[in-house]
Amino acid sequence: MGLFGKLFGEFIDVIEWLDDSSDTMIYRFERYNNEIKYGAKLTVRASQNAVFVNEGEVADVLTPGMYELETRNLPILSTLQHWDHGFQSPFKAEVYFCNMVRFTNLKWGTRNPLMLRGQEFGAVRLRAFGTYVVRINDPRVFIQEITGTDGLFTIDEISDQLRNLITSRFANIIGQSSIPVLDLAANYDQLGGFLTERIAPEFKAYGLELTKMLIENISLPPEVAAALDKRTSMGMIGNLDKYLKYQTAEAMGNGGEGGSTMSDAMGMGVGMAMAGKMAESMRSSAATPPPMPQQLAYHVAIEGEARGPFGSSELKQLIREGKLTGRSLVWTDGMSNWLAADGVEALRPLLPTAAPPPLPPK
């Protein structure tokens, strides 16, 4: 630095910072040998705070306003400089301007899919991304914990760390929420608010305030999304037979009006599919056996009591035991009254035929 710059640095009496960027968080006011004239004018604008650092130790923090640097508005620096025993002009101190505006539209997102256990699909992988808004809340803590002696600190220098912090906490919260995958879209606002509440204390430890966090999208990997689309399509088709008939009619109508080759091919494909389904239905019908013939079931009057019903095998057993004869009364569904067994045509084959009379003598 030349002689003129040295003299200008020693006798500078106006300290201010006009920010023409949108990403600067901390700016150190540069001058020769960190020398400031006692009684210099300091301008701190509405979106700024000014932090004085003496020999590496954060001293006073001044909020927006215009100041004449002297003992009454720099109490900590006055103590550190021993101004109660007299002062020197110029004095040495570093002045850091903190940009207190909100830094908006900062991006966050998962680099790799998160493996979660869903209620509907079992294990599923999800991706998520969104935006967040942050501002410096405590300049003293932010300089001590983050910027250090960096004379020009931008939001880009800390955005990666903040994004990793958000992504890590998002994985824990979404895993514990037990919200079905298909209902996540309806809970973006709720999740965003919950994430803001959970992560804000960790941002505060850096001297930052997380004012808002938005979830813009939670998506499935392409292959999982394609499978879900197929499942949705099947549900929308509904009755497959009706759908095939409708497609066939549409294809035939388009073909009759001079439709394209693609429409004709579609119509032929749908028609062949429908013909195959009809053939399958006919084969199924042909392979079905006829119903079994209904067996005889009769009630029999035995010793003055109605017993049964008896099937054919049981009726034969009663005949062998002599409990059912041609004169025994029987009844079955469709008969108006009890009849003798030999008067029922269906039972005659079961009854024994009468024995022939003896041969006449020779």
What is the C-alpha separation between 277 and 283, in angstroms, rounded?
A: 10
What is the radius of gyration, based on Cα positions, of the chain? Answer: 49
What is the C-alpha separation between 12 and 15, in angstroms, rounded?
A: 8
Instruction: Give me the percent of the chain exceeding a pLDDT of 70.
Output: 66
May I ask the CATH architecture of the domain 103-224?
2-Layer Sandwich (3.30)
Q: 133 pLDDT exceeds 90? A: yes
Q: 158 pLDDT exceeds 90? A: yes
More confident residue, 40 or 256: 40
Q: Which among 278, 130, 122 has a CA at the least distance from the CA of 195?
A: 130
Average pLDDT, the chain: 77
Residue corresponding to tokens 């999208």: 217
pLDDT bin (cut points 50, 70, 90) of residue 138 is very high
Average pLDDT over residues 253-276: 54
List, in sequence order, the alpha helices (H) in the chain: 3-10, 75-81, 139-142, 156-177, 188-204, 222-237, 240-256, 261-286, 312-320
- CA distance readout (Å), 194 to 74, 107, 109: 41, 18, 17
Q: What is the pLDDT of residues 229-242, one digit of tens each?
A: 666 666 656 566 66
Predicted confidence at residue 357, as pLDDT, reads: 62
Residues 6+ apart with CB under 8 A from 110: 126, 127, 128, 129, 167, 170, 171
Q: Which of 94-108, 111-125, 295-309, 341-355 has the highest mean pLDDT?
A: 94-108
Predicted confidence at residue 51, as pLDDT, reads: 92
What is the C-alpha separation between 328 and 348, in angstroms, rounded?
A: 12
More confident residue, 82 or 107: 107
Tokens representing 91 are 């004095």
74-102 b/e (C-beta count within 10 Å ≥ 16 → b): beebbebbebeeeeeebbebbbbbbbbee
Predicted confidence at residue 110, as pLDDT, reads: 84
Predicted confidence at residue 241, as pLDDT, reads: 67
Q: What is the pLDDT of residues 59-99, one digit of tens each?
A: 888 899 998 887 666 766 666 565 554 555 677 788 999 99
Q: Which of 297-301, 348-352, 356-360 has the highest mean pLDDT?
A: 297-301
Q: 103 pLDDT exceeds 70? A: yes
More confident residue, 75 or 55: 55
Average pLDDT over residues 255-265: 51
> What is the edge-to-edge ordering of all strands in the sheet holding 48-54?
57-62, 48-54, 94-99, 24-29, 152-154
Within its chain, how far is the Cα of 49 from the centroid? 42
Q: 2 pLDDT exceeds 70? A: no
What is the C-alpha separation between 108 and 163, in angstroms, rounded?
A: 5
CATH 3.30.479.30 region(s) of the chain?
103-224
Task: Label residue 58 exposed, middle or buried (CB < 10 Å: 0-12, 13-18, 19+).
Answer: middle
Q: 188 pLDDT exceeds 90? A: no
Predicted confidence at residue 271, as pLDDT, reads: 55
Calculate ∠ Cα 207-211-216, nearest 5°.
Answer: 130
Average pLDDT over residues 329-336: 84
What is the C-alpha separation between 351 and 340, in angstroms, rounded?
A: 12
Residue corresponding to tokens 């029987």: 330
Residue corresponding to tokens 């008969």: 335
pLDDT bin (cut points 50, 70, 90) of residue 337 is confident
Q: Of 15-29, 65-79, 157-171, 286-300, where does mean pLDDT reach its minimum?
A: 286-300
What is the C-alpha separation between 52 and 60, in angstroms, rounded?
A: 5
Predicted confidence at residue 210, as pLDDT, reads: 94
